[in-house]
Copies of this chain bind each other. A is one copy, B any other.
Amino acid sequence: MAEVPPVLVNFKAYSEAVGDRALSLARAAEKVSEETGVTIGVCPSHVDLARVASEVDVPVFAQAVDAAEPGSRTGHVTPEMVREAGADGTLLNHSERRMLLEDLKDVCLACMNEELTTVVCASDAVAARAAGALRPHAVAVEPPELIGTGTPVSKADPEVVEATVEAVKEVSEDTVVLCGAGITDGTDVKAAIELGADGVLVASGVVLADDPEEAMRDLVSGIP
């Protein structure tokens, strides 16, 4: 199973990261990874997943999967599908795609069976403790009010990062913690790591940057 990358870039549904632009972004991630030796994972849309996974050599994560088994389910994306498309893992429970607790439990288990690495998002330390209790590979703490602001959680609310690390470790020692929301440069990444996080989850800071490749290079500079 893929390791949790220390830098994970969520393409969301940004027009700047769909179709051919998804491929370009993923190639920039690949280039920076090769240069720096720091793994950068990418999360393209469902529609771009297979193409990115087959053409670019970086860890590829889905943005979500449904708690659905293969079969008579229309419009659902199953763990099996994204595995077959070449994905290494998936985000789950992002603040823009919250899940029922029971579905999240089912899908964490189903991903385990498909050898998909799971990164469960949570809004704060209490939610992170509940998420951690499902024993995913990573919990990503993202206070929703900071998403897309450019104000990093590591600066706006350092306690939430520390409290999350503590809460997650309390219930699941092997689960790592990513820090998201408002992360835009290497300084933010460094601060997150110092607060106990193992890496970062970023989106607009890279996708909407004038020069996404340079933005990733900057982010990676914060990884020790």
Contact = CB atoms under 8 A, between A and B. Distances in A.
A93 B82 contact: no
Given A19-B84, A134-B130, A102 B123 contact: yes
Interface stretch (A24-32, A48-56, A157-165, A182-190): A48-56
Nearest to A108: B126
Q: So how many copies of this chain end up in the complex?
A: 4
24 contacts: A12-B72, A12-B73, A12-B74, A13-B73, A14-B70, A15-B80, A46-B46, A48-B81, A50-B51, A63-B74, A74-B94, A75-B91, A76-B96, A99-B100, A101-B104, A101-B130, A102-B122, A105-B123, A105-B124, A105-B126, A105-B127, A105-B130, A130-B133, A130-B134
B133 A132 contact: yes
A102 B84 CA distance: 30
A146 interface: no
Interface string A100-119: 11111100010000000000
B102 A127 contact: yes
Interface in A136-171: 147-148, 170-171
Nearest to A168: B133
A210 to B, nearest CB: 18
Interface of A: 10, 12-15, 18-19, 43, 45-51, 62-64, 68-78, 80-82, 84-85, 91, 93-105, 109, 122-124, 126-127, 129-135, 147-148, 170-171, 203-204
Given A74-B13, A105-B126, A80 B171 contact: no
A80 B84 CA distance: 24
Contact of A18 (B80, B132, B171): B80
